[in-house]
Each structure stands twice: as C-alpha cells, then as structure tokens.
Amino acid sequence: MGENGVGGPNTLSIRDNRTGREYEVDILDGDVIRAMDLRQIKVDESDFGMMAYDPAYTNTASTRSTITYIDGGKGILRYRGYPIEQLAERSSFLEVAYLILKGELPKQGELDQFVHDVTFHTYVHENMTKLMEGFRYDAHAMGMLISSVSALSTFYPEAKEIHDAGVRWEQIVRLVAKMPTLSAYAFRHHRGLPYVYPENELSYTANFLNMLFRIGTREYKPNPVLERALDVLFILHADHEQNCSTTAMRVIGSSHADPYSALSGAMAALYGPLHGGANEAVLRMLRRIGSVDNIPDFMKKVRSQEERLMGFGHRVYKAYDPRASIIKRTADEVFEVTGRNPLLDIALELEKIALNEDYFVQRNLYPNVDFYSGIIYQAMGFPVEMFPVLFAIPRTVGWLAQWQELLEDSEQKIARPRQVYLGSGERNFVSVEDRG
C-alpha cells in the first residue's frame, strides 16, 4: 500500500482484473512509480509478481539524477540547470566539465586549479605509444581509442579503489586530460606520422589540434576561430543524461569495475552508427548522395524505409535538437575560415525537405547534434574516422560525472534486469547419436 494512504492524492490505484484485487502505489517525483511496487501484484502466493516489460528502456527511469535536464518536447537542454545556449556562448569546455563533474560553476581559483591539473596530466606512459604501434595502418581511430583507454587501467591499478573519492577524482582528471592525447596518437598512427607530445602552455583544444596537425618542428598555431569552434562542439557533447553509452557506463560501473574499463565499454556503445557513430554515417551518406540532384531519389528510399536519413531523429527530442541549432551557427563561423564545405548544400536541402514532408513531420524527425557536426569536422581537416572520437573526448566528462553519481547513490546496486522467458520448458538431454 502507498505511504500516502489509500486513495491519497499522490497514489495510483491499480485493479488486477484477474483477481479483482485493488492496489495503491505511491507516485514519486511528479509522475513516477517504483517498478518494485508492482511486485506485490500476484495471482497467488507462488506467483513471482508483476513486472514491467520495457525493451530498450523507452519508459523506464534507471536513476534519479541532478546532472542534465532535457525536455525533448520543447527542445531544452541544461547542464546542472544552466541552459546549453548560455554555456556555449559564454563558457569554456573545461569550465563546463568542472560544472558537470562538481555540480557548481567554479570560482576563479577552482577553475585555475582544474585547468592546471588537467594540463599536467596530458602525458601518457611511453608504453602506450608501443600499444598504438601494434595496430594496422588502417585501424579505425575509435577502435584504437577504446583499446588504449581500456589498457590505461593496467597502468593505474589504484583506480580500483572506486569508493575513495580522492582516488576517483584523480582518475577523472587523468581521463579528461589523456583522452585528447590518445585520440591524437590514434590519428597520427593512421597517418603514419610521428606522435606529437602535449604542450602545456596551450589551451585544451589548441593542444589537441597541435598534437593532431603539427608537422615537424614548425610551430603550429591553430586558428582561434577553429579552436573556439571545437571548444563549443565539446561543450555541446559533454553530457546527455541516460543515453545508450551513459547507460553502458553506469551498468559496467555498477559492478564496481575501474573507471578505465567502464569508460572503454561506454565508448564501445558510442561507436555504433545509431549513436555517436552517426556523425560519421552522416558524412558517408552525404558523400554517397553526391549532389543536390540526387536528393529526390534518396528521399524516396528514406520514405519507403530502404534508407535512414542519418543525423535525423532522436529518442528524446521530438522538437529541433537545441545542439543542432548552435552547431549550425558554429558552422557559419568555421566556413568563414575554411571555405564552404560543398556537402553543406546537400545537407541544407535535405533539412528543408525533411522539415516540410509528412513522413518526417508525423514522426517528429528533426536534425540532431550529428547532422551538421560532421560537416564542420571535415572542413577543419578531420577524416571521418575521427568523428566518433571527437564525440568521445567531451562525453568522457558526462560518463565520469554519471559514474560518480551512481557510486554515491545509496539506492543503486549492480544492474541486473529481468527477462520474460519464452523458451522451451524442461526437456531431457539427447546424446548426439540419438538426434536423428
């Protein structure tokens, strides 16, 4: 029975028509019930009790969180209460990282300390370069990154002390700091170029660009517009509450695995084309379409569901993804420097058609974060294999904040969903010679 009393205002009455019995369950936090409250609903005492069946967790809250708020119907995204538009306009990626990880915007001294700590943890053990060298010349950058982050766990065995807040924070700083270094190494390996070591006097994104694009001893000066554009893109990708990869991070973290192992699992989830691999898939799609003239044929296939319009649609946003609007503006600034990406015309035309056609309007399919980001990344000189990597670097912050929140949440336990078993009933083993 609900704590609020029978028929109380914050209770839900359930009538089981199999038995005629009535139940009251509490309604929490506005409109949530505890799935475990359904377990009391039974036909008889031997019955296991009622469960909720929810493949893909489309209507299941796995946690109470204070990190990121999304209103998918209104196109709202906030980190710790701050609107994404304000953060993208006025903040920096490391300041946003601090906000997401700690819950509050840093005071100047706290920000300086955090930037210093991240800057001075960017180096990786030399053995990591040997690990990179073991990959084939054409290995995908994301595969290399996933493996190298996983390998980091062997360098920091103390990371297993996940209940020690100080040890946890040290791994968080290390991971935020080392992700750009490992990502740049993966890129340089792919290109057959020598690795460039981190430069401590550069900003987070300028250092990353330097490690990627510097040739020889010649000084590399990233264009400040591109440096800032990348910083904004990192802010936009820093967290997105309980998506597929964050759920992977939490599920692995719930077994008390170390953060490097958990993060490599989250990255593997991100790699898929329906999630963080979508920006790469968008670019491949735009290249395949090739010209505006080919769009009608392509859209015909999308409407008949032979093709999927990559970079469109979202499980949560049923309005324009607020990140996509900011990215579209950032694209204009980037193209002022790099020149216009010819794929932009195809993208704009696809968007125009999609926003007006019944197929897309009825299904609420709007451009998502990945639709324009790839076009910017390409204009900045990144090969498509680096696109999911560019998503993983900033999302590391969100994954780690969510992991930390999970470990501090006394309601959380090892994740272990139930199933509805539909297989054979008990049957006797038959030896191979008797199987006909």
List residues near ligand CMC by CB under 6 A: 243, 274-276, 278, 302, 305, 308-315, 363, 365, 368-370
Among 117, 125, 275, 345, the one annotated catalytic? 275
Nearer to ligand CMC by Cβ, of 11 and 183: the residue is 183
21 bridge partner residues = 16
How big is the CA angle at 433 (ends 428 and 435), to the nearest 5 degrees? 50
12 bridge partner residues = 25
CB of 244 to ligand CMC, least distance (A): 7
Residue 398 vs residues 112, 250, 262, 395: alpha-carbon distances, Å? 21, 11, 13, 5
- Which of 315, 318, 389, 247 is closest to 76 using CA atoms? 318
- Please answer whether residues 283 and 277 qualify as being in contact, where contact means their C-beta atoms are separated by less than 8 angstroms: no
CB of 316 to ligand CMC, least distance (A): 8
Nearer to ligand CMC by Cβ, of 102 and 275: the residue is 275
Among 140, 237, 240, 314, the one annotated catalytic? 314
Nearer to ligand CMC by Cβ, of 41 and 88: the residue is 88
CB of 96 to ligand CMC, least distance (A): 18
- Which of 35, 30, 29 is closest to 14 using CA atoms? 35
Structure tokens at 47: 């019955």
CB of 242 to ligand CMC, least distance (A): 11
Structure tokens at 8: 């109380």
- Please answer whether residues 140 and 166 qualify as being in contact, where contact means their C-beta atoms are separated by less than 8 angstroms: no
Nearer to ligand CMC by Cβ, of 265 and 313: the residue is 313
CB of 309 to ligand CMC, least distance (A): 4
125 tagged catalytic: no
CA 282 – CA 285 distance, rounded (Å) = 5
78 bridge partner residues = 69, 83
Residue of minimal Cβ distance to ligand CMC: 313
CB of 374 to ligand CMC, least distance (A): 10
CA 388 – CA 398 distance, rounded (Å) = 15
Structure tokens at 298: 């392509």
- Please answer whether residues 246 and 402 qualify as being in contact, where contact means their C-beta atoms are separated by less than 8 angstroms: yes
Look up residue 404 and give its DSSP letter.
Answer: H
Nearer to ligand CMC by Cβ, of 122 and 373: the residue is 373
CB of 301 to ligand CMC, least distance (A): 10
240 tagged catalytic: no
- Please answer whether residues 319 and 74 qualify as being in contact, where contact means their C-beta atoms are separated by less than 8 angstroms: yes
Nearer to ligand CMC by Cβ, of 11 and 243: the residue is 243
Structure tokens at 279: 């920006």
116 tagged catalytic: no
Nearer to ligand CMC by Cβ, of 325 and 338: the residue is 325
Other CB atoms within a 10 A radius of the CB of residue 203 amount to 21
- Please answer whether residues 77 and 84 qualify as being in contact, where contact means their C-beta atoms are separated by less than 8 angstroms: yes
Which residues are marked as active site?
275, 314, 370
